[in-house]
Every structure is written in C-alpha cells, then in structure tokens.
Amino acid sequence: MNERMNDETIDRIVRDAVQGRPRGALSPFFAARTANSAQTASVERDVGARSRGGSVFLAIYWFLVLGTTIMMIAPYAASGTGRVLFAILVPLGFALTLYGRELVTGLVRIVAVRVE
Amino acid sequence: MDDQTVKGFIETRDPELFRAIVEEYQYRVFRLVASVLGPWTDLDAEEVTQEVFLRVYQKIGQFRGESDFGSWLQRVAYTTALNHRQLARIRLPHDSKGSISIESEENPLARLLDSVARSRVASILEELPGLYRTVVYLYYWQECGIAEISRSIGAPEGTVKSYLHRARERIRKKLERDVDAGRDRRQQ
C-alpha cells in the first residue's frame, strides 16, 4: 500500500455510505403523547398492583379458614361423614382460593340488589 | 432545564413537569437512540425514544441526584436503545446490479463499483464497537457537532474527538486491507 487514506477521504466515504438514509424525526405532539402514555401506564400499574394485592390477601384468608375447618374435622375423616365433608371441602377450598374474590363480589352484589 | 423541574417531578409526579422534561430532552434522546440503532435497522427510533421516557417515568425514583439528570437520562437511553438493537434486524444495502441502468449517462461500471463500496463501508461501520459506531452515526449521519455529541453521550469533547479518530483509524485499516486485497487479485 503506497498511499494512505487521509481523514478527508474517510469522511467522504463514510458520508457517502450513510447519506440518503432517512434520519427520522419526532412527530409534532411527541411530548404530549409520551406524557399521556406515561400517566396511563402508571394508573394501569397501580390498579394491577392493588388487584394483585387483594387476590393474595383473599387467597391467604381462604387458606386459613378452610385449613382450620379441615383440621377440626380431621379426627372424623375415617368415618363416612368425614370423607364426604373432605370430598366437599377440599375442592371448595381450591375454588375459593382461586375465585374467592369474584365469589365474594358476586354475593355482595346479590345481597345489595335484594336489599334495594 | 433547571434542577427544580426534575426535583419537582420526582416529588410530585406532576404530568405537566414530566411533559416539560420530555420537551427539553426529546431531540437529544431521539438522535442518540437513532444513532445507537443505526441507519439500517428495521426499528422505529421514535417508538424506542418513547420507551426511554416511559422508563424514566417509572424509574425516576432510582435517580439519586448524585449526577446530572441529563447524564442519567442518556444512560437509560443508551441502554434501552442497545437492548433493542440486539434484537433488531439489520438490513445492509446490497450491491444490486438491477439498480444500475445501462442507459445511464454516467459510467455504469463506476456506479456499480460505487454501490459495492457503499455496501462494504456500511458493513464496516456496523462492525465498529458500540460507542464508536454511535459517535460515527451521530457525527456523519445525524450531523451533530462535537459539543452536541459530547452532551448526548455524556463524555468530554476531547473523548468524543478521540472516539472519532479511533473509529476513522479502524475504518481506514479495513478499507486499505480491502484495496490491497483487490490489487492483489488484479495482479494474479
């Protein structure tokens, strides 16, 4: 290699390579749109966190209530009545743990309508 | 942007203050994001810029005020854009012979060589280390001055000049190697 490319040559080569590629631009209402999106996302996050917190609380509540009930009837598990009670309470426990929140909300709504 | 606006936003989360922050920094962040992504990605720099600001909104509690807010924002922007770039598809220009018109008044062979060279330069630029590449794109593509690049990447102007110099050296070495290889082939 006899000659060495100087900085001007490199500048021109690089400019040639990237020129013509769209540089892009921000839309006119970018700031307003971004501020709105941030606020909406923040509200959604808060609601989601509260909802998750409520579900966890209900799951613990039903776990304790049903756990205590099952412990109380455990001595009678050997009898026929005990087995029937277990057969009812265990699936009920799972259902309430998973859907307790909806069940309670539904019951409250039914009661509220009756009272009205 | 005065510190009071940033402090006020951290304390109150007032959307109007956040909007003022976005208005102040949007173009700087956009240029940085676009340069990290590069001219040949299939990503929309505006969308990534918006994600940067949404992250800032969520993580503003992590900003301790020990450094300049602009530098912190620049780090968030750089990291976010780099993560996107790693998942993006890079479409380098190809030296399509179909784009060369024989009826052209210019020399078709010269245009073909020019097209091949442009494609090769594009791939050399894409092979540069992340920070060098970003500085090169900011300088040559986004046409930012040294002072502006310095603010964008949060480095002193001397460092920016040094990055540009080292990037040019790498480009030069690769191009000269290509030229030498081409000459050797012709001589054989």
- Tens of pLDDT, residues A33-43: 999 888 887 76
Which residues from chain A sit within 8 angstroms of residue B22, using beta carbons? 30-31, 34-35
Residue whose token pair is 């936003």:
B9
Identify the segments of chain B with pLDDT beneath 50.
96-104
pLDDT at res. B185: 72
CB within 8 Å: B46 and A14: no
Beta bridge partners of B90: B41
Interface of A with B in 28-57 (CB under 8 A): 30-39, 41-42, 45
* pTM attached to this predicted model: 0.69
DSSP output for B3-66: HHHHHHHHHH--HHHHHHHHHHHHHHHHHHHHHHH-TTBSS-HHHHHHHHHHHHHHHGGG--SS
For chain A, 116 residues long, give each residue's pLDDT as a single digit of tens: 445 678 888 888 899 888 878 888 898 899 999 998 888 877 666 666 566 556 677 777 777 777 777 777 777 767 777 777 777 877 777 777 777 767 777 777 777 766 65
Euclidean distance between CA atoms A16 and A21, whole angstroms = 10
pLDDT at res. B107: 61
- Judge contact between B39 and A18, C-beta under 8 A: yes
Residue B118 Cα, gap to closest chain A Cα (Å):
5
- Judge contact between B152 and B31, C-beta under 8 A: yes
Q: Is B90 helix (H, G, I), strand (E, B) or coil?
A: strand
Which residues from chain A sit within 8 angstroms of residue B117, using beta carbons? 13
Euclidean distance between CA atoms B40 and B61, whole angstroms = 35
Beta strand segments in chain A, E: none
DSSP structural state of residue B80: H
Closest partner CB to B34 (pick from A17, A23, A36): A23
Burial class (CB in 10 A: 0-12, 13-18, 19+), A42: middle
pLDDT at res. B145: 94
Beta bridge partners of B41: B90
Q: Is A24 left (phi over 0), alpha (psi -120 to 50) or beta?
A: left
Which residues from chain B sit within 8 angstroms of residue A14, using beta carbons? 121, 125, 136, 140, 171
